[in-house]
């Protein structure tokens, strides 16, 4: 059992005046055996957060722990094997010179499987676990389809016996029919192995299908998080509601936010004061000038007490008024 925790995590690219805070003050928990979906537009910091967790990017502030053990410094190197990442592009994440069996076998924990025959049997087991024919063990990546390569990447991640897996846009490069099979596989693995998973995607339908919890990211910050059924059914932050209203077939939202012509994307070198979303917010000072608090006060300063929380001074109710008292 494991819990991946981000505490006040910030990641900065560059130095001096050209420095960009790609991730800022992120607090997030991926509980054991739970799929947490992380959504947001391109450039919001989703992949940066995942890469920082596995040590590919340094932290500029905060800490990341797995079951309380820090994932930085000397003490963190061993525990990083308990956290594995599956990358977006199945065509570049595998070494083209190594066979499927060699790629998966390389990731096996040292000392857990001894002897060539035993290692081959364990690789076959892992390939079967991800619904891939063990007979493809001697194939090269170029001989596989995109979906098959992504299954190999999953098997390689599982070979390290992780406690938590980070899946970064693992279906975005796949055809729709292949996406469905990979998503079903993710759900099955979560149920069978009880793995915690941070599932990153810009596709709201995909996240809704696989996730128990959802966090929404905008301009490097988490602006809303909570149980998937509440975030998708009763979004509280206007940015979340804007994302959902842009999805075809979401016309059933009775309280849909008004359409606002978005301003230029937030400049990461010079983010706006107060709420970062206020220049584009459909319920903020752009349409309601009296809401000056959005211009000056950072909503992250507000203490969030509910399970379903949003970084917004004027967030919508998380649930219908008749049920509001049940979630305080």
> In the numeric block, which tokens belong to residue 94?
């595998």
> H helices within the chain, ranges in order?
46-53, 74-79, 100-106, 116-129, 146-159, 176-193, 204-210, 228-233, 238-245, 293-296
pLDDT by residue (tens digit) across 256-267? 444 444 455 677
**Rounded Cα gap, residues 63 and 52, in angstroms:** 10
pLDDT of residue 252: 45
Question: Based on the number of CB atoms within 10 Å of its own CB, is 321 exposed (0-12), middle (13-18) or buried (19 or more)?
Answer: exposed
Nearest alpha carbon to residue 281 among 301, 266, 302, 268: 266
Domains of the chain: 4-211 (3.40.50.300), 233-328 (no CATH)
Quote the CA–CA distance of 263 and 193 in Å, as a whole number. 45
Q: What is the C-alpha to C-alpha distance for residues 142 and 103, in angstroms, rounded to an integer?
A: 13
The reported pLDDT for the residue numbered 34 is 94
Q: Is the pLDDT of residue 219 over 70?
A: yes
Q: Which residues contact 328 (CB under 8 A, 6 or more apart)?
A: 305, 306
pLDDT at 249 exceeding the cut of 70: no
pTM for the predicted model, two decimal places? 0.83
% of the chain exceeding 90 in pLDDT: 46
109 to 71, 93, 215, 246: CA distances (angstroms): 18, 19, 32, 44
pLDDT band at 69 (very low <50, low <70, confident <90, very high): confident
Categorize the per-residue pLDDT at 205 as very low, low, confident or very high, splitting at 50, 70 and 90.
Answer: confident
User: What digits encode the pLDDT tens for the residues 150-195?
Assistant: 999 999 999 999 989 999 999 887 777 788 888 888 888 888 888 8
State the Cα angle at 158 between 55 and 52, rounded to 5°.
15
Lowest average pLDDT, out of 122-126, 145-149, 204-208, 312-316, goes to 312-316
* Higher pLDDT among residues 172 and 64, named by residue: 64
Q: If you average pLDDT over every residue of the chain, what do you get? A: 84
Q: Do the beta carbons of residue 235 and residue 316 sit within 8 Å?
A: yes
- Does residue 78 or residue 213 have the better pLDDT? 213
Percent of the chain with pLDDT over 70: 86
């Amino acid at each position: 059992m494991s819990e991946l925790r981000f505490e006040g995590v910030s990641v900065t690219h560059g130095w001096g005046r050209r420095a960009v805070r790609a991730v800022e003050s992120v607090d997030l928990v991926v509980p054991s055996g739970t799929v947490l979906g992380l959504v947001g537009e391109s450039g919001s910091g989703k992949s940066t957060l995942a890469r920082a967790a596995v040590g590919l990017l340094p932290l500029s502030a905060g800490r990341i722990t797995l079951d309380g053990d820090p994932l930085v410094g000397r003490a963190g190197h061993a525990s990083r094997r308990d956290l594995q990442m599956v990358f977006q592009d199945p065509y570049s994440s595998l070494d083209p010179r190594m066979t499927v069996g060699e790629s998966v076998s390389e990731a096996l924990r040292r000392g857990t499987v001894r002897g060539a025959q035993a290692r081959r049997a364990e690789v076959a087991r892992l390939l079967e676990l991800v619904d891939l024919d063990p007979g493809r063990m001697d194939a090269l990546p170029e001989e596989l389809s995109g979906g098959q390569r992504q299954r190999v990447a999953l098997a390689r991640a599982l070979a390290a016996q992780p406690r938590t897996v980070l899946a970064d846009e693992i279906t975005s490069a796949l055809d729709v029919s292949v996406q469905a099979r990979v998503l079903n596989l993710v759900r099955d693995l979560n149920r069978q192995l009880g793995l915690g998973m941070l599932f990153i995607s810009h596709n709201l339908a995909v996240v809704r299908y696989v996730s128990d919890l959802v966090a929404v990211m905008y301009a490097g910050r988490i602006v809303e998080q909570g149980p998937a059924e509440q975030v998708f059914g009763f979004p509280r932050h206007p940015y979340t509601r804007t994302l959902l209203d842009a999805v075809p077939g979401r016309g059933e939202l009775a309280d849909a936010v008004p359409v606002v012509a978005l301003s230029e994307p937030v400049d990461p070198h010079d983010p706006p004061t107060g709420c970062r979303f206020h220049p584009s917010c459909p319920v903020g000072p752009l349409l309601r000038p009296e809401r000056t608090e959005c211009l000056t006060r950072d909503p992250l300063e507000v203490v969030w007490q509910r399970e379903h929380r949003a970084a917004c001074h004027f967030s919508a109710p998380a649930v219908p008024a008749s049920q509001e008292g049940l979630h305080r």
